[in-house]
Amino acid sequence: MVRDLHIDRRSLLRLGLLTGAAAATAPLLVACGDGGAPAAGASGFGAAGKPIDVLTVSAPSAVTDAVPGNPLATSIGATLVVMRHVYDSLMVLDNGEYKYQLAESVEPNADASAWTIKVRPGATFHDGKPVTAADVAHSLRTVGTKPSNRASVYSVVNLPGITVVDDRTLTVPLKAPRGDFRESVLIVFSPIFPAGTTDFTKPVGSGPYKLVERSGATTRMVAYDGYWGGKPTVRELRVVGVSDAAARLSSLKAGQVDYAISISATGAKTEAANSALSVVRGGAANANALSFAMNQKLAPFDNPDVRKAVRLAVDRQALVDNALLGLGSTADDVVGKNLPGYADLPARKRDVEQARSLFAKAGVTKLTLRTGELVPGMLNASKLLAQQLKEAGVEVTLEELSVDAFYADITTLGTHPFQAFYYVNRPAAVHLSAVTHGKAPFNVTGTSADYQARLAKAQATPDDKARAEAFTALQKEFYESGGDLLWGFQEQVDAARSGLQGVRVEQSVQLFDKATTA
């Protein structure tokens, strides 16, 4: 039986490390620093440069993490880490680049109303059977249909019309032409599993690991030696769902885990000189994009002057310096900084007097912000925002919720006027396509019908250059009048036992199949 890692509040208080920070998915590029000899602990590291027998990882968890390995119910943190090790996708976003994984090629017809997918040869599932076009067709239909929580990603796909041409080839018709099918659908979510799969309690994928056991918050996986991408260097991988950032760091320091995904900026500062650990930092290209989202469909944010006033009232650098302790950079209301296709947008400047005038003109004196510790530092940022808006004549009441309560029903996220929110930083075209269309559950800014029509036109453009120009225009529109007060890119921070190397990020998820000791 897998040892279930349980870390309670009393234990943390004894360690003096409880900060109350909560969880978030933590994308980053790993560059572990040199340090002292690895501490003895849960994983039993081998000699330097050799494979690792057991690697234990603590990852953020949410209420839906009860079913890791189910691609229809994937949430944040631990569920994503498990899923990405058990299943391969057709395509992935790897450090800002679109790359094929199980797909060998994905090509459109003349007007991009149908796409032909060729499956990579030599890939097999954990039961030894080859990955075929029939498996891909079944997987796309399944993840594109309720109860899959990613069904909206496939709203443009004519799922019944998917046709298997031969063992390695299928055609995917769309309901309307989409030149961005690869980046807005397959990159966003395309895990593949065997044809006929309806029960994910014993998941079978084609990824580098086989899921063998779940016990409480712990999921145990073993290496799949037949993996087409190469034999994993970590023989057994254990992922433990831990909802609190301080608890994840504490479990690492106590020797219960070897890698902690997403620690707080405070924790990173505290442990910077600890030779037993490596603090692992990422840049803006693999960051969380932090926002205070204003819903344009709901008062008072249906008034563009109010949205402008909020942007003008905010001191973005102060938010980064204080809420993120400097582990980040300022943002200018559009996702995609340091990634392909990002528009050349000017830096925002604070103007409290103009903000005050616009608020007075609109008759706005009070606002309520729905918030929580969605990522470490978000509550502090919300409190500082309230102080900054008060300087512009607006009193802000904070409605604080737990992470579980905040995301309890994702279908209602778009019904709140003003709320703290975060996105994974990814190319602007991917983000806008996935988040700002009318059926997206995370369309928390309530984009207008006119905007959605322009988005649809950009998505349909088959010419890559013309489509890129159209998305640049959409970014500029979002910058001028959209609903995101995107104020900072939160540099993601993990922690590892000193000497662990080879952890990498792909599609904002840490992957451990190539990890070794220094």
Is 194 inside a domain boundary?
no
Q: Is the pLDDT of residue 313 over 50?
A: yes
Query: Which pLDDT score, from 0 to 100, does residue 404 have?
Result: 84
Q: Has residue 66 got a pLDDT over 90?
A: no
Length of the chain: 518
Residue 448 lies in a domain: yes
The answer to the question of residue 1 being in a domain is no
User: Across residues 387-404, what is the average pLDDT?
Assistant: 96
Interval 5-27 mean pLDDT: 30
Cβ 241 vs Cβ 23: under 8 Å: no
Lowest-confidence pick of 107-121, 335-349, 359-373: 335-349
Please tell me which of 73-77, 110-114, 243-247, 340-344 the model is most confident about, judged by mean pLDDT: 110-114
Mean pLDDT of 485-514: 90
Mean pLDDT of 413-425: 94
Name the band, by pLDDT with cuts 50, 70 and 90, for residue 287. Answer: confident
Please tell me the distance from the alpha carbon of residue 318 to that of residue 325, in angstroms, as a whole number: 10
Angle between helices 464-481 and 449-460 (to 10 degrees): 160
Mean pLDDT, the chain, whole residue set: 88
CATH assignment at residue 452: 3.10.105.10
User: What CA–CA distance (Å, rounded) separates 375 from 257?
Assistant: 21
Provide the β-strand partners of residue 89: 191
> What does pTM read for this prediction?
0.77
C-alpha angle with apex 255: 35 to 372, nearest 5 degrees? 95
pLDDT value at residue 281: 80
What was the pLDDT predicted at 433?
87
Same domain for 409 and 324: yes
Q: In this predicted model, which residue has the larger pLDDT, 455 or 65?
A: 455
Q: Say whether both 319 and 403 belong to one domain.
A: yes
Q: Is residue 133 part of a domain?
A: yes
Q: Which pLDDT score, from 0 to 100, does residue 67 have?
A: 65
Q: How many CB atoms lie within 10 A of CB 439?
A: 11
DSSP letters along 356-369, please?
A: HHHHHHHT--EEEE
Q: State the CATH number of the domain containing residue 139.
A: 3.90.76.10
Does residue 127 share a domain with residue 175? yes
Of 1-10, 315-324, 421-430, 499-508, which gets the smallest average pLDDT?
Answer: 1-10
Task: List the one residue out of 178, 440, 95 whose CA is nearest residue 293.
Answer: 440
With a CB cutoff of 8 Å and minimum separation 6, the contacts of 169 are 116, 117, 118, 119, 133
Do residue 472 and residue 505 come from a single domain?
Answer: no
Is 349 inside a domain boundary?
yes
Ordered strands of the 114-119 beta sheet: 103-108, 114-119, 169-173, 163-166
Long-range contact pairs involving 360-364 (C-beta distance under 8 Å, separation at least 24): 360/393, 361/305, 362/300, 362/303, 362/305, 362/306, 362/309, 364/300, 364/306, 364/309, 364/394
Which pLDDT score is estimated for 398? 98
Task: Please write the tens of the pLDDT for every residue from 139-173.
Answer: 999 999 999 989 989 999 999 999 999 999 999 99
Which of 88, 96, 82, 79 is CA-nearest to residue 28?
A: 96
Domain of residue 505, CATH code: 3.40.190.10
pLDDT reported for residue 207: 98
Asked whether residue 498 falls in the same domain as residue 396, the answer is no
Which residue's structure tokens are 């949430």? 75
191 within a domain of the structure (yes/no): no
pLDDT for residue 340: 84
Six token digits for residue 51: 């494979």
Task: For residues 370 and 497, state if they share a domain.
Answer: no
Are 462 and 439 part of one and the same domain? yes
Give a yes or no: residue 3 inside a domain: no
Q: Are residues 345 and 299 in the same domain?
A: yes
Number of domains forming the structure of the chain = 3
Do 228 and 125 share a structural domain? no
Range of the domain at 111: 91-186
218-223/234-241 β-pairing: antiparallel
**According to the model, what pLDDT value does residue 12 have?**
29
Q: From CA 26, how far away is CA 497, in angstroms rounded?
A: 17
The residue ranking higher by pLDDT, 418 or 245, is 418
DSSP 285: G
Task: Note the pLDDT of residue 98.
Answer: 85
The CA distance from 446 to 421, in Å, is 13
What pLDDT shows up at residue 455?
A: 95
Within a domain: 123: yes
364, 300 contact by CB (below 8 A):
yes
pLDDT exceeds 70 at position 48: no
The verdict on 416 and 342 lying in the same domain is yes
Q: Would you place residue 49 in the very low, low, confident or very high pLDDT band (cuts 50, 70, 90)?
A: confident
Say if residue 65's pLDDT is above 50. Answer: no
pLDDT in tens, 423-437: 988 889 889 988 998
Which residue among 186, 215, 241 closes a domain?
186
Q: Percent of the chain beyond pLDDT 90? A: 70
Q: What is the mean pLDDT of residues 71-79?
A: 84
Q: Which of 47-61, 131-145, 348-362 has the lowest mean pLDDT?
A: 47-61
What's 415's DSSP letter?
A: G
User: In terms of domains, do 295 and 370 share one?
Assistant: yes
Same domain, 240 and 302: no
